[in-house]
Amino acid sequence: MPIRTQIVGWGGYLPRKVVTNNDLSEKLDTSDEWIYSRTGIKQRHIAAEGEVSSDLATIAAQRALAKAEMTPDDVDMIILATVTPDNTFPATAARVQAKLGMTRGVAFDIGAACAGFIYAASQAKNYIETGYAKTVLVIGVETFSRIIDWDDRRTAVLFGDGAGAVVFKGVEDNGDALSRGIISYEIHTDGRLYDILRTQGGPSETSTVGTLTMDGREVFRHAVGKLVDVAESLLKKANVTIDDIDWVIPHQANARIISATGERLGISPEKTAITVDKHANTSAASIPLALMEMGDKIKPGDLVFIEALGAGLVWGGMLIRW
């Protein structure tokens, strides 16, 4: 019998410290009005000194496993999406594996920036449906506060720290009408656009971590067009229409990108998750954190579409029957 990749648990963690737009405007030439009207962001969470990505990720993972009524011993594989690892190497996933108390399995990182969760979830599907793993823990985690130039108002106001985790489990497809699980995904990369969103510096180029720079307008322009294309392509291949979608969980970079994409696709805002106001852009963590915020609003059998675009450029979408 074919195997389907189902979501059986999810959870998230946000650092305790909250920084509002007004807090930022005390140090930067910016304002709550500018930030909110251009991005929809009101506040962001920032990791405490000494609190690292693996700390955030471990708590999110524990919450997702509790929701799934599973223990770390049930996990065969951890795929952790991040571009802000604890160290250049080893993989942060290995540290999370140890912090969870796991003594077997495989753990590795994926660096696909803001599309990291979709890249990682697509790998979970591949490993599960080829029979290599039964239970895969996918984590998206970032501590962008550590790679931000806090004197650059164009980028400092946009990002936040956080972690989200989802437990995927392989279940035999019993042929019922719902056929719950990941239906399909698409992931894309266009490295010609490497420079429009990147860190200036990095271990190999400058022996430093580097700080983030972005041509915001260019990223915005590519985001709307590419996300609409990916949605239309996935819907067509799955033989469903936009009206069949119950929930859209977009990457949370900017409320204007989310609404422009939604308008072009004809999705009602009531079906669309918005957390950018509270979390800002948490990169790979934003989709699983939004899933956490949706809570039990999503019902078994609902059709869910997730989509994201980020540095690379990388982008993609995924259709899931909840």
Q: Which residues bind ligand UT7 (CB under 6 A)?
A: 30, 34-35, 38-39, 114, 153-154, 157, 197, 216-217, 219-220, 223, 253-254, 257, 281, 309-310
What DSSP assignment string belongs to 204-226? HHHSS--EEEE-HHHHHHHHHHH
Q: Hey, which residues does 159 pair with through a beta bridge?
A: 281
Question: C-beta of 308: minimal distance to ligand UT7 in Å?
Answer: 7
Q: CB 265: neighbour CB atoms within 10 A?
A: 17
| Cα radius of gyration rounded to whole Å, the chain | 19
Question: C-beta of 153: minimal distance to ligand UT7 in Å?
Answer: 4
What tokens does 146 get?
Answer: 């550590």
Catalytic residues: 114, 251, 281
239: exposed, middle or buried (Cβ count in 10 Å: 0-12, 13-18, 19+): exposed
In the chain, at which residue ranges do the beta strands (DSSP E only) sit? Answer: 3-13, 17-20, 43-46, 77-81, 106-110, 135-143, 161-172, 181-189, 197-200, 211-214, 247-250, 303-310, 314-321
Q: Which of 3, 137, 162 is nearest to 74 (CA)?
A: 137
Question: C-beta of 229: minimal distance to ligand UT7 in Å?
Answer: 16
